[in-house]
Amino acid sequence: MMHTSSPTILVIEDDAVTRNLFLDSLQAEGYDTIGAENGRIGIQLTQEHLPDLVICDILMPDMDGYDVLNALRQDQLTAIIPFIFLTGSDTKDALRKGMELGADDYLTKPLTVEQLLRAINIRLEKQALLRYWYATQTHKISQSIPANIAVSNTPEPFFPSVPQFQKVFDYIEANYHQGITLAKVAEAVGYSRAYLTNRVAKHTGETVNGWIVKRRMMAARSLLKNTNQTVEQIALALGYQNACHFSRQFRQHHGIPPKHWRKKQQFLNTCTQLEKCLPVVQT
């Protein structure tokens, strides 16, 4: 599987000198990097950015590496991210504890940059092979579905069933991607803007502008999840004058930028496909 952009590596290390050394070395190799000075910040940044791999020191104040790994493995979005421990201890007990929690590798400090890069490359290659495997398995499963079994793509009803506003919602549905405004909707249905706003808000709990934005956000989620269009292309397709306005509005409604939302959906899909496709091991 080819990366469309450089893999992102998150380094969680409380020692600033060591952390910066790793970050600088990884950046020199073409990786995108994120640094975290403690475990709590590391967990937060992992959940926010969903990096391709996490490197984490074990001995850290407040929250050690074991606690970080355990927290990430409990979250469906971060559970499958490859995780490499860094430690000054090479005892069998420490190694066993890390592996039992789900660590992918275990590197003992001091180590060379070459050793670190080799471990990262191995983990990223294995992750790519795993994704390729379940993708091909999913394709085989879809190809085996009989042709007479129809798959419905009809979306669930979006607008509320309020007969007196049917023309309003029909107009929004037909034109939400053309940058319509309250003024255009009011003109189309023959009401003043103030009257229409008050009536719709009273009966639906949402303003006309609110319904326009919600419908745009619904379409945005579908495009982000089901197409390879860029954020700029999606913004244009939904009638936004620029991607910044679209991204700002998307973040207001979802709490994260559209690029991060898309990446989370990809991880969710990965988890779902793994549950469906991985063979059951008999013990």
Residue among 248, 175, 185, 188 nearest 215 (CA):
175
163-268 CATH, one of 1.10.760.10, 3.40.1160.10, 1.10.10.60, 2.60.40.3710: 1.10.10.60
CATH code: domain 8-132 is 3.40.50.2300
Domains 8-132 and 163-268 share a fold: no
User: Taking a C-beta distance cutoff of 8 angstroms, is the pair 258, 240 a contact?
Assistant: no
DSSP E strand stretches across the chain: 8-12, 32-36, 53-57, 83-87, 105-108
Better-scored residue on pLDDT, 227 or 91: 227
Which pTM was predicted?
0.51
Annotated domain spans of the chain: 8-132, 163-268
- pLDDT per residue as tens digits for the range 133-162: 545 554 454 454 444 433 333 344 678 887
Q: What gap in Å lies between CA 81 and CA 68, rounded to an integer?
A: 13
Q: How confident is the model at residue 2 (pLDDT cuts 50, 70, 90)?
A: very low
